[in-house]
Amino acid sequence: MNTNPQRTRNFTLIELLVVIAIIAILTSMLLPALNKAREKGRSASCMNNMKQTGMAMNFYQNDYNGLVPKMYEPSSGQTWLTMAVTGKYLDWNRARNICPTLQPMINPAQTLYILAINAHINDSQYFNNNRSHCPSRLFFITGDAWFRDNPDKFAGSIYYIYSDGVAPGNAGIARFYACHGNVGNMLFFDGHVNGLGYKNIPPTSLFCEWNPLKNMGYE
């Protein structure tokens, strides 16, 4: 009768390395899917913030007979966002935190550039949304804009959107930035928010539905 205890078999170095390699492969396969799902969540949060911004701007327009705040008002020195905040339609914190993807990527001095308005609103007369021919295709505000001093973050093609920086007294121009997996969120004059890529956006100077002045027959 064999009374020797059964010997416990330990992992060899090769077997351990194989297990580690399998875990690494599985992790590399899962991480992109997890990051994609996380970014979809951030994009959904950004879209929700944009819709609330659209509601606030609708309240502004209702109080001013359909008039939209100008990109910049020389007589008062106020930007559109300053006017909206002063009138209690929006608050600075919402404007600074509208896009959870961009927020961690920029310093506090640039946070206001997350929100930018259609530059074609900056005309000698206020744009009246009630006279718009196609509000569902008329770009109003983008929640995915960043300061132009980061050129590597913007499309080097004709598909960028001219949008004004919202910080008072700053000559910098913000640009549309498709930061949600090559998709950026944009608010339209009818209140809906849509995620668009660079190639989905026409040059504003050429397309009537993206230019408020052409949209109203002024140009």
Tell me which residues of the chain have a pLDDT lower than 50: 154-171
pLDDT of residue 171: 42
Instruction: Read off the pLDDT of residues 155-167 as tens digits, 9 standing for 90 and up.
Output: 444 444 444 443 3
Instruction: Determine the pLDDT at residue 159.
Output: 43
Instruction: Say what the alpha-carbon torsion angle 97, 170, 128, 211 is, to the nearest 10 degrees.
Output: -90
Tokens of 188: 């339209």
Cα separation values, 147 from 9, 150, 166, Å: 62, 6, 10
Q: What is the mean pLDDT of the chain?
A: 75
Q: Which residues contact 71 (CB under 8 A, 6 or more apart)?
A: 79, 80, 117, 118, 119, 121, 122, 164
pTM for the whole thing?
Answer: 0.74
In this prediction, residue 142 carries a pLDDT of: 85
